[in-house]
Structure 1
Amino acid sequence: MRAIAIISLWAALAGAALSDEAATAIGDADRGAKIFKKCQACHQVGEGAKHRIGPHLNGIFFRPAASFAGYKYSKGMRRAADSGLLWDLEGLEAFLTNPRKAVPGTKMSFAGLKKPKDRADLLAYLRQFSDNPADIPEAAPTARKVEIDLPPEVLALVGDPDFGEYLSTECTTCHQTDGDYDGIPAIIGWPTEDFVIAMHAYKQKQRDHPVMQMMAGRLSDEEIAALAAYFAGLE
């Protein structure tokens, strides 16, 4: 029953996660729509989008590279995928700056966007076509670094993985434990300190995602450490 309540709350808060503030956290989406016209010869996005010369770009945020079904990727892109390339903000930013430098052997002929504002605005536009609020950058704890001041004793806490597994059922209502991407970023295998910092950033409302803020706000320091220890041990 508790899991059902969480899912219901997720649905109720989903719209809030796509507020104007969140939508402009990267750049100007309206201006990004105009910049996307440079991409339309090869890529589609939005309802009914299909693969063309390049793959469609729906749900691109936090998707592993070369993971859209039905599209024939270049050898260079497949090599990048095998090396762990993820389309988070860092990966997308590098690729949009200079595609051939970021992914040697890519068949994408576009020279790249040299102006940081152009890249930021285009990413703000593309982010609107994620499947659900979990795909926005604020939802991935490692996507946007947020520095928060935590007492050394909090970072030094050694969590109990067994207790973390007991607590994890609420997390795994949405996040998969096999590492697969299904519209919601995977949270396994993280360094424990990264996980702890991310959860405390949500708890202190330094990260913008209402569901994660609610979930983290209910956890004690010891419970966060236990979850960090549990998920760090999963592969």
Structure 2
Amino acid sequence: MAEQQGALIGDAEAGEEVYELCVGCHEVGRGAENGIGPHLNGIFGRKAGSIEGFRYSKGLVREGTLGMVWTLELLDAYLENPKALVSDTRMSFDGLEDKTDRDNVLAYLRQFSDNPQNIPEAAPTGRAREVELSPETLAIVGDPEFGAYLANECTTCHQVDGRNDGIPGIVGWPEEDFVIAMHAYKRQIRPHPVMQMMAGRLSDEEIAALAAYFGDLE
């Protein structure tokens, strides 16, 4: 049923390719978990900001409290221009202008809605880790107060209220995702000269402290 309804929206196979723009933050499919963004299993018909345990932006929590439910029309509007629909969303994505791309990615996502038993037997589409870190590095407990001290350089570009003014928001990131991203810059796996330089100056403990600080912000 979900696949049939998806076909009425657009081309799910083409939508899977468009979804590559999303997989860095949103997993979908069997075993999908929350990451930088919430998983998108069952997104159709779900109340906004309602996955238990995920730290949503205040805007999405507000909309959910007011009764907003993700319909096809609202998902299309959100994909076209996230901040036009939810002004203070933390999602650092400018939107999909092409209507066909939006139809196709929504057809793809529609396959993972209805009921859990209808989710295909497939691995989550979240990206593999960019860099493999030792368990010892990942186990470092960051000091958020030290992170607040270190964050002065970060906040010259990244907004502490989570706004995306052309620079991605980093507020509320899961700590492990933050640590992995910073180590990817440090090892020059992620291509951004300024971030490579900034991360290259930081010790493992300092990266963990920044992750703890920004992870605690809302």
Question: TM-score, length-normalised on structure 1?
Answer: 0.48
Aligned-pair CA distance for 1:132: 2.7
1:98 corresponding residue in structure 2: 81
- Does 2:87 match 1:87? no
2:60 corresponding residue in structure 1: 77
Cα root mean square deviation, aligned: 2.0
Aligned-pair CA distance for 1:40: 0.7
SS state at 1:41 partner: coil
Task: State whether residues 2 and 113 of structure 2, in contact with CA within 8 Å, keep that contact through their aligned partners in structure 1.
Answer: no
- Runs of 4 or more off by more than 3 Å in structure 1? none
2:48 corresponding residue in structure 1: 65
CA separation of 1:19 and 1:93: change in aligned 2, threshold 3 A = closer
Aligned-pair CA distance for 1:56: 0.2
C-alpha distance in 2 between matches for 1:104 and 1:40: 23
Aligned-pair CA distance for 1:90: 1.3
SS state at 2:84 partner: helix
- Structure 1, unpaired ranges of 5+: 1-16, 136-235
Residue identity matched to 1:108 = M
SS state at 2:9 partner: coil
- Does 2:113 match 1:118? no
- The count of aligned residue pairs is 118
C-alpha distance in 1 between matches for 2:3 and 2:28: 21
SS state at 1:25 partner: helix
Aligned-pair CA distance for 1:83: 2.1
Matches within 5 A, 1:17-56: 17-18=1-2, 20=4, 22-56=5-39
Task: State whether residues 28 and 39 of structure 2, in contact with CA within 8 Å, keep that contact through their aligned partners in structure 1.
Answer: yes
Residue identity matched to 1:115 = D
Q: Larger relative contact order (C-alpha < 8 A, sep ≥ 6)? A: 2
Report % sequence identity: 50
C-alpha distance in 2 between matches for 1:106 and 1:19: 30
C-alpha distance in 2 between matches for 1:123 and 1:109: 19
